[in-house]
Chains A and B, each alone.
Chain A
Amino acid sequence: MYELDMLLHGAQALFNQPMALLLALFGVTLGIIIGALPGLTATMGVAILLPFTFGMDPLSGLLMISGVFFGGIYGGSVTAILLKIPGTPAAAATAIDGFELTKKGQAGIALGTATFSSFLGGTASVFVLIFLAPVLARFALEFSASESFALAVFGLSIIASISGVSVIKGLIAGFLGLLLATVGLDPMAGFPRYTGGYTELFNVPFIPVMIGLFAAAEAFKSLEDPQVRAGMAAALDRIIPPWHVFRRQLGNIARSSGLGIVIGIIPGAGADIAAFVAYNEAKRFSKTPENYGKGELGAVAACESGANGCTGGALLTMLTLGIPGDAVTAVMLGALTLQGLQPGPLLFKDHADLVFTLFAGMLVCYVMMLVVGLGSLRFMGRILQMPKSVLTPTILALCIVGTYAINNSMFDIWIMLAAGVAGYFMQKWDFPASPVVLALIMGPMAEANFRRALSLSNGSYDFLYTRPITAALLTVAILTLMLPLLRRLWSSRSGGPTVNGPTVASSAAEGSK
């Protein structure tokens, strides 16, 4: 097999370049830190490192950047699970169940599962990138505006399943997010909507709102009972999940990684969408869907393998077609061009040696991520032992600085604070925050692509049912939205909600103590 041969050659070449490996390790570590900090995303990490790659050889520079990319996607989960601070938008999905697990005293096992799932999802996606790139690349081109619109609608239908206690409150939060997402320049005509004359509002300040709703709101809540210690001091006694628990997640991880890879390939869709979709599908296929939202290990595994599955998918279209699938790969495209490598169909022909050495390096990056991740978890877990009266002020200061860092803008911090106050009241009365985040991701995608599709079809609405991928996605979306409602209606007819048993994960963890 040509690819396998080349990969082995690549691995050989790679291990003759210790400097490149060292830089990859540096990249992965920096990526994890950047991902864990609120406001700093993998995109930003890659952009920060870009100028440093000017003077490096292509392999070292690209591996370092890949390392930041991978580490950045994974790093967001650590603070999401421990503190309910999603370092990246994708980790907002991880935070839903991850933080519930921490509250139950199972932070260690949640972090361990997140790390292994990220590793498996990411590695699987790199293998797909190596062996199936030419076959799958064509799929990306099938995706036009109407398909992207349908994908966004499918994403929005997930609101019903992440709503928590009350579907109606979840939907209100979701539609409020959708309305919020229309603030800024209208995607087709460029007209400023609801900006009140502030140029800063021309783009929806998505990440400041997310940091406010999750991290700042949680910090304000912890001001209620300042005397209480974090109370999870002994929580990290086990990080590597027991095999009999993890084994049950393997099917889930495989499905989520697959979803992540496909979504990564789709232009304009990235890790955030993949994490939410993976969450939704894991819940759909779970035997205990009622535990989702209350601390289900499967949810963490799904989100993380989905988000990291995206990396290979996004790289696939970027390398084979020269089309960046998301913001990170757009910057990476710049990095490749800088190195005199023109991504596109010719890259594999003209630079096969380098490409396969790079692939081998990417696999090594994921192994490094696993090792660095597991190694740092104990240290990160110490965060929980900090007294709350130091931790809360630190979190708030990080929220402020992290928000500022996105655009170097004070305006964004005020938005973050407003979102934090709103988020505090929302969680008090069971209005969930994650539908808002989901709506902010999907809303602009849905509107822009719907209107673009309409323009592409010269004003005809035919595209809604004549294009197979569009029609299929829209059908799935309607089913996703209707099923929980129907089920709820059914169960309320037949006598109240079922009594919740203990989660599989919690009973297993108790057994292992």
Chain B
Amino acid sequence: MKSYRFVTGAVVGVLTSATMMMAAQAAEYPAKSIELIVPYAAGGGTDLVARAYADAVNRHLPQSVGVVNKTGGGGAVGLSEIMAARPDGYKIGMGTVEITTLPNLGVARFTVADFTPIARLNAEPSAITVNASAPWKTIEEFLAYAKENPGKARIGNSGTGAIWHLAAEALASKTGLKFNHVPYDGANPAVTALLGNHIEAVSVSPAEVSSHVAAGTLRILAVMDDQRSKAFPDAPTLKEKGIDVTVATWRGIVVPKKTPENVVNTLRAASKKAVEEQGFRDQLNKMNLSYAYLDGPDYKVAMEKDAEMFKALMKQIGLAK
């Protein structure tokens, strides 16, 4: 039976190459190409950051970094895969703010503690944006309207439990106001509804409304950041207005928690060099994404702070399971 011979040959061949690969692994890291798991679809914000990063970091690592999209479950599928990956540094991932929100929703098995942060790359604050034809010129006017009409002000978000929903909820809980939160299938459809005047406001990031603000069809009333946005310096922060709410989405590189020290350090060093390249920053700028680099340890602190904040908030509004 020649077919058996053929099959045996194939099996032997694959086995030999696999053994060789394992032998190589024991040597210096990285000895083979690295997979960068992106928990969201190709072409979206997280994917664009990942691809720009892969492009830049490739020049500082002896092996190439390839982007693989693992979508589903609002990020839960991809993040679970990163968590469960063999901690050898050959499967790294884009860790997003959902690491801190999904566990509270009861749809994920991971928590912040399951990841070792390598570098934060980008962060986008939430912003309250209204239609340019709306009567509210300032955030105070809008909040006054919401106070007079409890439950009438409809704020579009990118899905229940998603970051922009939580941002609007955080604003509601700090100000004691009552909004009508309308979930959409992502930020873009919410912006579309705002353009058509079907809702009063959206809580998505300035980047996601920037073209409409530039065209004069939408107006940013306030951003939920510590400082004003560079692109829209006229929009005040909520902090300036005496409302202490800062909510942002962030994206960065994470690895499973048991990854060896030397691998983590190699990746941190390479990431630092990559983000210092002008090309990487230009790439982010072009895509309206803000550069927000934090090294591993600082990133970890920021992650843990958010995890605590969202846990308390989601429990308070009844989202946490």
Contact = CB atoms under 8 A, between A and B. Distances in A.
Direct contact of A and B (CB under 8 A): yes
B178 interface: no
B160 A190 contact: yes
A47 B210 contact: no
Nearest to A332: B43
Contacts of B286: 337-340
B287 A321 contact: no
Q: How large is the interface on A (under 10, 10 to 19, 20 to 34, 35 or more residues)?
A: 35 or more
Contacts of A140: 192, 196
Nearest to B106: A192
B198 A337 contact: no
A140 B286 CA distance: 27
A8 interface: no
B68 interface: yes
A3 to B, nearest CB: 20
A327 B199 CA distance: 23
A391 to B, nearest CB: 20
A54 B309 CA distance: 37
Interface in A130-174: 140-145
Contacts of A145: 193, 198
Describe B's contact surface by its main secondary structure: mixed
B85 interface: no
Given A202-B107, A330-B43, A334-B48, A344 B211 contact: yes
B214 A342 contact: yes
Contacts of A345: 215, 217
B297 interface: no
A289 interface: no
A192 B107 contact: yes
Interface centre among A50, A190, A342 (most CB of B within 10 A): A190
A203 B74 CA distance: 9
A327 B188 CA distance: 11
A323 B192 contact: yes
B159 interface: yes
B60 interface: no
Contact of A455 (B182, B191, B197): B182
Interface stretch (A181-189, A231-239, A278-286, A415-423): A181-189
A322 interface: yes
Nearest to B102: A199
A338 B107 contact: no
Contact of B185 (A187, A192, A322): A187
B69 A408 contact: yes
A452 B182 contact: yes
Query: Can you list the 5 inter-chain pairs with the closest CB atoms, starting with the nearest?
Result: A47-B42, A331-B43, A202-B73, A141-B196, A344-B211
Interface of A: 44, 46-48, 50-51, 54, 140-145, 185, 187-190, 192, 199-200, 202-203, 267-268, 321-324, 327, 330-331, 333-335, 337-340, 342-346, 407-409, 448, 452, 455-456, 458
Interface of B: 41-44, 47-48, 51, 55, 67-74, 76-77, 80, 105, 107-108, 151-152, 154, 159-161, 180, 182-185, 188-189, 191-193, 195-199, 210-212, 214-215, 217, 283, 286-288
